[in-house]
Amino acid sequence: MKLPVRETPIRVPGFRFAGVACGIKGGRKLDLALVHSETPATVAGMFTRNRVKAAPVVIAARHVRRGRAQAVLINSGNANACTGAAGARVAIAACRQTGIALGISPYDVLPCSTGKIGVVLPAVSMVRGIDAAVRALDAGALWQAAHAMRTTDAFPKVATRRLQVGGRSVTIAGLAKGAGMIAPDVATLLVCVITDARVAAPALRAFLRAAVATSFNAITVDGDMSTNDTVLVLANGAAGHAPLTPASAGGRCFAAALAGVMESLADMVVADGEGATKRVRVEVHGAATPAAARRVARSIAGSQLVKTAFYGADPNWGRIVCAAGYAGVLLRPERLGVRISGVEVLRRGEPAAPHVVRRAAAAMRRDTFTVAVDLGAGAGAATITTSDLTPAYVRFNSAYST
């Protein structure tokens, strides 16, 4: 389901952007994005939990541990994953080349890659592209960078929030790519969030962890975890206010705005799921613990039978409770309840009348709806957003080489 996108101008003080074609995708397709902070920024990052990590993920994680960065280099069309020492050398060389071109340390450059796995990133294309990207850097080119990050994405994903901190205006902007290989635990994607807020690295890490928990760790499309998942936040302090902490009033406002940006991006990723026609919010209540609720929500949201029922507008509560049952958590079958967009199709383990089920089916024909499940075992709750599973997904992924 393609969302309408208005590419209104977005600027974040102290940041410049570029999106260029370096030849990885062929032709004039944009495939290299550069985000540059004119001054050193504090940085926090979260990365894939897949044990098979791409070379740029390993290098970016190492650089992020220093707590500062000044550039994010993102190529699309080639994941540079499972490429051994050769892939690592190209990623390191790209950081070095970017550092030279910008006059900064190569350790302040964070490399990210997305695309086909098992092919070494072409060094010549990267060198040519980096030089072109540095020349093209512009404070008003955020959308070009967002376009250059895309692989199978139907549209660029950008979200912004503005807030006041200590009488100063603060801007948060996020760029993301992701449409396939989406699963909880940083759902397969690349995300770069930039802000002119002033935040020390330890506080920024805390803000990031909290925001990811309610956004990218709360979505799924196909249950596959990528080799390249990366979420980065850079804060350059250009707004000039006092440093933010999680305990301060300004910090709480910033945390809410950051979560809002990431949740908007996460919703776009699900809406752009490969072949997806519907976006579904799976809400689980009445679990013994929040962790148990998350397990059940992920089980339901990841079930192929449930997702195909979503596509067919079939209020098949049997598939839903089956997925809840094999999640391996405590529940009370005789107390189970299921609502579809408020229509109660199962109450205390008893099915609703046929005319009620037909109302639920009508609700499922919309492109967004909610499935709420009550486990009857406690007060734990969790939410996962997912998509339907369609013939288009199968056609696309049987033809697309990863």
Adjacent-strand bridge partners of 15? 37
Residue 183 is encoded by which pair of tokens?
A: 């699963």
Residue 149 is encoded by which pair of tokens?
A: 């990050």
Which range, of 125-139, 177-191, 310-324, 332-346, averages the lowest pLDDT?
177-191
In the predicted structure, residue 184 carries a pLDDT above the cut 50: no
In the predicted structure, residue 376 carries a pLDDT above the cut 80: yes
Rounded mean pLDDT of 131-141? 98
**Residues whose CB is less than 8 angstroms from the CB of residue 202 and which lie 6 or more positions away in sequence, other chains included:** none
Distance CA 185, CA 361 (A): 31
CA nearest to 96, candidates 73, 67, 66: 73
Distance CA 40, CA 31 (A): 25
Question: What is the per-residue pLDDT for 396?
Answer: 75
The number of beta carbons lying within 10 Å of the beta carbon of residue 8 is: 8
Percentage, residues of the chain above pLDDT 70: 94
Which range, of 3-17, 34-48, 286-300, averages the lowest pLDDT?
3-17
Rounded mean pLDDT of 109-123? 94
For residue 110, the number of C-alpha atoms closer than 13 Å in the C-beta half-sphere is 35
In the predicted structure, residue 203 carries a pLDDT above the cut 70: yes
SS3 121: coil
In the predicted structure, residue 211 carries a pLDDT above the cut 70: yes
Rounded mean pLDDT of 389-399? 82
Question: What is the per-residue pLDDT for 112?
Answer: 97
Residue 196 is encoded by which pair of tokens?
A: 């002119």
Domain with CATH 3.60.70.12 in the chain: 15-271
Phi, psi values for residue 109, rounded to 5°: -110, 130
Rounded to the nearest 5 degrees, what angle is found at the Cα of 37, between the Cα atoms of 31 and 43? 95
DSSP annotation string for 336-401: -EEEETTEEEEETTEEPPHHHHHHHHHHHTSSEEEEEEE-SS-SEEEEEEEE---HHHHHHHHH--
Phi, psi values for residue 285, rounded to 5°: -125, 165
Adjacent-strand bridge partners of 380? 287
Confidence grade of residue 226 (pLDDT, cut at 50, 70, 90): confident
Q: What is the pLDDT of residues 228-282, one digit of tens each?
A: 889 999 999 999 999 999 999 999 999 999 999 999 999 898 888 778 899 999 9
Residues 248, 162 contacting (CB under 8 angstroms): no
Question: What is the per-residue pLDDT for 209?
Answer: 95
Model confidence, pTM: 0.88
Adjacent-strand bridge partners of 279? 368, 387
User: Looking up tokens 């895309």, which residue turns up?
Assistant: 150
The β-bridge relationship of strands 190-195 and 230-235 is parallel
Distance CA 296, CA 321 (A): 10
Distance CA 362, CA 124 (A): 55
The number of beta carbons lying within 10 Å of the beta carbon of residue 264 is: 18
Confidence grade of residue 182 (pLDDT, cut at 50, 70, 90): very low
Can you give the C-alpha Rg of the chain in angstroms? 22
Distance CA 122, CA 89 (A): 11
b vs e for 297-309, b when ≥16 Cβ sit within 10 Å of the residue's Cβ?
A: bbbbbbbeebbbb
In the predicted structure, residue 394 carries a pLDDT above the cut 90: no
Rounded mean pLDDT of 76-80? 93
For residue 357, the one-letter residue type is V
Catalytic residue, candidates 98, 151, 188, 220: 188
Distance CA 128, CA 112 (A): 17
Domain with CATH 3.10.20.340 in the chain: 279-399
Residue 80 is encoded by which pair of tokens?
A: 């540079």
Confidence grade of residue 194 (pLDDT, cut at 50, 70, 90): very high
Q: What is the pLDDT of residues 323-375, one digit of tens each?
A: 999 999 989 899 999 999 999 999 999 999 999 999 999 999 999 999 999 99
Adjacent-strand bridge partners of 41? 69
Q: What is the pLDDT of residues 155-166, one digit of tens each?
A: 999 999 999 999
Task: Mark whether 188 is an active-site residue.
Answer: yes
SS3 258: helix
In the predicted structure, residue 154 carries a pLDDT above the cut 60: yes
CATH for 279-399, among 3.40.190.290, 3.40.50.2300, 3.30.1370.110, 3.10.20.340? 3.10.20.340
Which range, of 3-12, 128-137, 349-358, averages the lowest pLDDT?
3-12
Confidence grade of residue 186 (pLDDT, cut at 50, 70, 90): very low
Give CATH superfamily name and number for 15-271: L-amino peptidase D-ALA esterase/amidase (3.60.70.12)
CA torsion, ordered 317, 384, 261, 62, to nearest 10 deg: -150
User: Looking up tokens 């990365």, which residue turns up?
Assistant: 47
Q: What is the pLDDT of residues 49-62, one digit of tens each?
A: 888 899 999 999 99
Confidence grade of residue 119 (pLDDT, cut at 50, 70, 90): very high
Question: What is the per-residue pLDDT for 3?
Answer: 61
Rounded mean pLDDT of 14-27? 95
